[in-house]
Amino acid sequence: MLLLKALGAIDLASSLAFLLLIFGYDVQFQVILFCAGLLFLKSLFILGGDVLSIVDLGSSAVLVASIFFAIPVFLLWIPAFLLLSKGFVSFI
């Protein structure tokens, strides 16, 4: 149970990073890389058969790409909502 809540907290923190990017706040480079790294590590659960880890892998790629490119806003909303929903469900 504690691991599930910790993984959910990672989802919520990454969702917060996405929301900060969407609303134009200056997110530090280290915060984006930290969240992307944690999401990438979480995405390795796909090797165990967890299908929703694809969301983590895609979100990690979008976060890393947002460092180098100006990502359209609608492409930032999708992982933000998916991670937010995964994070809230893990606390229920």
Mean pLDDT of the chain: 90
The DSSP 8-state label assigned to residue 46 in this structure reads G
Tens digits of per-residue pLDDT, 25-49? 988 889 999 999 999 998 988 888 7
Report the predicted TM-score, pTM, of the whole model to 2 decimal places: 0.88
Integer CA distances (angstroms), 16 to 35, 49, 59, in order: 10, 27, 12
Closest by CA to 64, choosing from 47, 43, 92, is 43
Helix (H) or strand (E) run with residue 14 in it: helix 2-22
Query: Residue 53 has what pLDDT?
Result: 86
